Amino acid sequence: MRSVFEDIMIAFIEFSCVCALSNCKLVDVILHLHHAFRQRALAGFFVALALGTTGSIAQEKAAFDPKKAEIAPLGLPSPFDKFLGLDQTLHLTKADWKAAYDEISRFVDASKLSNESDAALALGVKIVDGVMAIKARDVNGLNDCSRQIEDIAKKLGVTPEEMSRAKVVRGHANKNEWLQVFMELGFLQTDIMKSLRAGSNAKRRPLIISGGWMQGLHYTSHVIAKHHSAESSNFLREPMLVKAIQGELGALPAAIKAQPKVAALIALMPSILNAVNIPIEGSLSKEVVQKLLETSGEIVDKITSSP
């Protein structure tokens, strides 16, 4: 069964195909994307019906028992939804995204990462750099990201078999096959996260998520700071996600939270939450956006720096 993240990748590919093959308005394409998500959610139910795993069709659905409800683990946040929204709001070009990638992406030397916590944070940063390289259609940038992701993942114990898609990603990029690149990178990310989800590896997962989200904030605030408006600044509003990340970081073992890079990240989260915790139709001033840009940049620099 595909993960939610894989579903997002596939739905986005459908989105891209519609954009490329038709002249429909963006609102219609967004409705298509929304419909694709609903189809993904319903597909599992209908497959279960076909296989008979839900019992008799006539059988009544069991009553919801809140005591048995489980909170799904936090997935890897992708900034692509914000990039799409900013494209529509600000009418950005491929050159704009390439400039953002060139300025914000960071090189990570996996051999100089001193511990697993540092490697997990850096992996999250590089995954988001890879997403931005795709948005910018930057072949060289994506090749660099893919190699760095592979090196960091190996340092975390991900096997060569689990990283086999990294070469596939580079192959498609070199042929300018961007739909395939996006799909394969999504699967590559899923393979890495799946490998790190089990057993003692699970403690690395919140760090990968946090590092990725912080670099996503870095890119998004960079673009909004250059093209500030009340409408564009609202894309930074996500208090529930920040609270969820805080919760996962707070649940880490004390020894991990004491690591300098992790401790610095945890210390910054309250101020970030305060900045993005605005009403649903609210906005952030240019000064607040600039502060988020500086704060996210400082922590990403720390995450990707050598000891």
Per DSSP, 234 falls in state G
Tell me which of 153 and 197 has the higher pLDDT: 153
Tens-place pLDDT, residues 189-233: 677 667 666 665 678 889 999 999 999 999 999 999 999 999 999
> According to the model, what pLDDT value does residue 63 have?
62
Residue pair 224/306 in contact (Cβ under 8 Å)? The answer is: no
The whole-chain average pLDDT of the chain stands at 78
> According to the model, what pLDDT value does residue 76 have?
62
Given pLDDT bands bounded at 50, 70 and 90, which one contains residue 57? very low
Q: Would the pLDDT of 86 be above 80? A: yes
Least confident among 31-35, 126-130, 207-211:
31-35
Average pLDDT over residues 155-184: 82
Residue 128's nearest CA partner among 199, 193, 53, 214 is 214
Give backbone dihedrals phi and psi of 270, rounded to 5 degrees, phi first. -60, -40
Least confident among 71-75, 192-196, 282-286:
71-75
Burial class (CB in 10 A: 0-12, 13-18, 19+), 98: middle
Given pLDDT bands bounded at 50, 70 and 90, which one contains residue 245? very high
Q: Would the pLDDT of 269 be above 60? A: yes
105, 122, 219 from 99: Cα distances, Å? 10, 22, 11
> According to the model, what pLDDT value does residue 207 have?
93
Q: Would the pLDDT of 41 be above 60? A: no
Q: Would the pLDDT of 250 be above 90? A: yes
Q: What is the rounded distance in angstroms from the CA atom of residue 84 to the CA atom of residue 91?
A: 10
Question: What Rg, from alpha-carbon coordinates, does the chain have?
Answer: 20
Least confident among 16-25, 153-162, 173-182:
16-25
Q: What is the rounded distance in angstroms from the CA atom of residue 158 to the CA atom of residue 138?
A: 26
Q: What is the rounded distance in angstroms from the CA atom of residue 196 to the CA atom of residue 205?
A: 6
Q: b or e along 229-257 (b: 16 or more beta carbons within 10 Å of the residue's beta carbon)? A: eeebbbbbbbeeebebbbebbeebeeebe
Give backbone dihedrals phi and psi of 251, rounded to 5 degrees, phi first. -85, -5
Residue 187's nearest CA partner among 167, 207, 205, 204 is 167
Q: What is the rounded distance in angstroms from the CA atom of residue 77 to the CA atom of residue 219?
A: 13
Provide, rounded to the nearest whole percent, the portion of the chain with pLDDT above 70. Answer: 71
Given pLDDT bands bounded at 50, 70 and 90, which one contains residue 65? low
> According to the model, what pLDDT value does residue 296 have?
97
User: 147: which 2 tokens?
Assistant: 């190699």
CA 99 remoteness from chain centre? 20
> According to the model, what pLDDT value does residue 166 have?
76
Average pLDDT over residues 238-256: 94
Given pLDDT bands bounded at 50, 70 and 90, which one contains residue 3? very low
Q: What is the rounded distance in angstroms from the CA atom of residue 198 to the CA atom of residue 191?
A: 12
